[in-house]
Chains A and B, each alone.
Chain A
Amino acid sequence: MKILVAVKRVIDYNVQIRVKEDGTGVVTDNVKMSTNPPDDNAIEEAVKIKEAGKATEVVAITVGEEKAQETVRKALAVGADRGIHVKADGILEPLAVSKILQKIVDKEKPDLVFMGKQAIDDDCNQTGQMLSALLNWPQATFASKIDVKDNKLEVTREIDEGLETIEINVPAIVTCDLRLNEPRYASLPNIMKAKKKPIEEIVASDLGVNVSPRLEQLKVEEPPKRKAGIKVANVAELVQKLKNEAKVI
Chain B
Amino acid sequence: MAVLLIAEHNNKELRPFTLNAATAASQIDSDVHAVIIGQNSADAAKQLSELPVVKKVLSVEGAHYENFTAENFSPVIVKLAENYSHIVCSANTFGKNLMPRIAAHLDTSQVSDIIKVISPDTFLRPIYAGNAFATIKSNDAKKCVTIRPTSFDPCESTGGSAPIEKVDASEEFSNTKFIKREEIKSDRPELGTARIVVSGGRGMQSGDNFKLITEIADKLGAAIGASRAAVDAGYISNDHQVGQTGKVVVPDLYIAVGISGAIQHLAGMKESKVIVAINKDGEAPIFSVADYGLEADLFEALPQFMEELNKLNTIQK
Which chain B residue lies CB-closest to A118? B245
Could you tell me the distance in whole angstroms from the C-beta of B104 to the nearest C-beta in chain A? 4
List of B residues within 8 angstroms of A141 by Cβ: 70, 93, 96-97
Which of A11, A144, A236 is most buried by chain B, counting CB atoms within 10 A of its CB?
Answer: A236
Partner of B137 from A131, A215, A222 at Cβ < 8 Å: A215
Interface residues of B in 172-208 (CB under 8 A from A): 173-184, 192, 196
Which chain A residue lies CB-closest to B264? A13
List of A residues within 8 angstroms of B117 by Cβ: none
How many angstroms between the C-alpha atoms of A169 and B177 in the bound complex? 9
Which chain B residue lies CB-closest to A175? B97
Across the interface, do A221 and B133 meet the contact criterion of CB distance under 8 Å? yes
Across the interface, do B274 and A246 meet the contact criterion of CB distance under 8 Å? yes
Which of A38, A159, A226, A249 is most buried by chain B, counting CB atoms within 10 A of its CB?
Answer: A249
Partner of A133 from B74, B130, B174, B289 at Cβ < 8 Å: B74
Interface residues of A in 69-96 (CB under 8 A from B): 93-95
Could you tell me the distance in whole angstroms from the C-beta of B80 to the nearest C-beta in chain A? 16
Range, interface on chain A:
35 or more
How many angstroms between the C-alpha atoms of A117 and B97 in the bound complex? 10
How many angstroms between the C-alpha atoms of A166 and B133 in the bound complex? 35
Could you tell me the distance in whole angstroms from the C-beta of B133 to the nearest C-beta in chain A? 5
Across the interface, do A161 and B308 meet the contact criterion of CB distance under 8 Å? no
Interface residues of A in 144-172 (CB under 8 A from B): 144, 154, 157-169, 172
Which chain B residue lies CB-closest to A126? B100
Partner of A219 from B135, B253, B290, B305 at Cβ < 8 Å: B135
- Whether A193 is near chain B, meaning CB under 8 Å from some CB there, is no
How many angstroms between the C-alpha atoms of A245 and B92 in the bound complex? 34
Across the interface, do B110 and A94 meet the contact criterion of CB distance under 8 Å? yes
Q: With contacts A118-B245, A246-B274 known, is A239 near B308, CB below 8 A? A: yes
How many angstroms between the C-alpha atoms of A246 and B43 in the bound complex? 40
- Whether A207 is near chain B, meaning CB under 8 Å from some CB there, is no
Across the interface, do A139 and B292 meet the contact criterion of CB distance under 8 Å? no
Q: With contacts A125-B112, A216-B136, A220-B134 known, is A162 near B104, CB below 8 A? A: no
Across the interface, do B305 and A133 meet the contact criterion of CB distance under 8 Å? no
Q: With contacts A98-B104, A125-B112, A239-B305 known, is A161 near B183, CB below 8 A? A: yes
Which chain B residue lies CB-closest to A141? B97
List of A residues within 8 angstroms of B184 by Cβ: 161-162
List of B residues within 8 angstroms of A249 by Cβ: 196, 220, 253, 309, 312, 315-316
How many angstroms between the C-alpha atoms of A95 and B105 in the bound complex? 10
How many angstroms between the C-alpha atoms of A232 and B133 in the bound complex? 32
List of B residues within 8 angstroms of A129 by Cβ: 70, 96-101, 104
- Whether B64 is near chain A, meaning CB under 8 Å from some CB there, is no
Q: With contacts A220-B133, A231-B295, A241-B292 known, is A95 near B103, CB below 8 A? A: yes
Across the interface, do B253 and A231 meet the contact criterion of CB distance under 8 Å? no
How many angstroms between the C-alpha atoms of A131 and B105 in the bound complex? 10
Range, interface on chain B:
35 or more
Q: From DSSP, what is the main secondary structure of chain B's interface residues? A: mixed
How many angstroms between the C-alpha atoms of A210 and B113 in the bound complex? 25
How many angstroms between the C-alpha atoms of A179 and B192 in the bound complex? 21
Across the interface, do B140 and A120 meet the contact criterion of CB distance under 8 Å? no
Across the interface, do A229 and B290 meet the contact criterion of CB distance under 8 Å? yes
How many angstroms between the C-alpha atoms of A133 and B104 in the bound complex? 6
- Whether B299 is near chain A, meaning CB under 8 Å from some CB there, is no
Across the interface, do A217 and B274 meet the contact criterion of CB distance under 8 Å? no
How many angstroms between the C-alpha atoms of A180 and B133 in the bound complex? 29
Across the interface, do B96 and A95 meet the contact criterion of CB distance under 8 Å? no
How many angstroms between the C-alpha atoms of A98 and B307 in the bound complex? 55
List of A residues within 8 angstroms of B182 by Cβ: 162-165
- Whether B239 is near chain A, meaning CB under 8 Å from some CB there, is yes
How many angstroms between the C-alpha atoms of A239 and B290 in the bound complex? 15
Across the interface, do B308 and A164 meet the contact criterion of CB distance under 8 Å? no
Contact with A along B289-304 (1 / 0, CB 8 A): 1111111100001001
Q: With contacts A139-B70, A238-B305 known, is A214 near B109, CB below 8 A? A: yes
List of B residues within 8 angstroms of A158 by Cβ: 93, 238
Q: With contacts A126-B110, A238-B305, A248-B274 known, is A223 near B175, CB below 8 A? A: no
8 A-B pairs with least C-beta separation: A129-B100, A133-B104, A130-B104, A214-B109, A126-B100, A17-B131, A229-B291, A235-B304
Q: Could you jot down 24 A-B contacts, CB within 8 Å? A: A17-B128, A17-B129, A38-B245, A123-B129, A124-B112, A126-B100, A126-B103, A126-B110, A130-B100, A130-B101, A132-B71, A158-B93, A161-B183, A166-B177, A168-B175, A213-B109, A214-B138, A231-B293, A234-B294, A235-B308, A238-B308, A239-B308, A239-B312, A246-B274
Given A130-B100, A130-B103, A222-B132: 5 more A-B contacts, CB < 8 Å:
A123-B244, A141-B97, A166-B69, A239-B305, A241-B292
- Interface residue ranges, B against A (CB under 8 Å): 69-71, 74, 92-94, 96-105, 107-113, 122, 126-140, 173-184, 192, 196, 220, 228, 231-232, 237-239, 244-245, 247, 252-253, 263-264, 270, 273-276, 282, 287, 289-296, 301, 304-305, 307-309, 312, 315-316
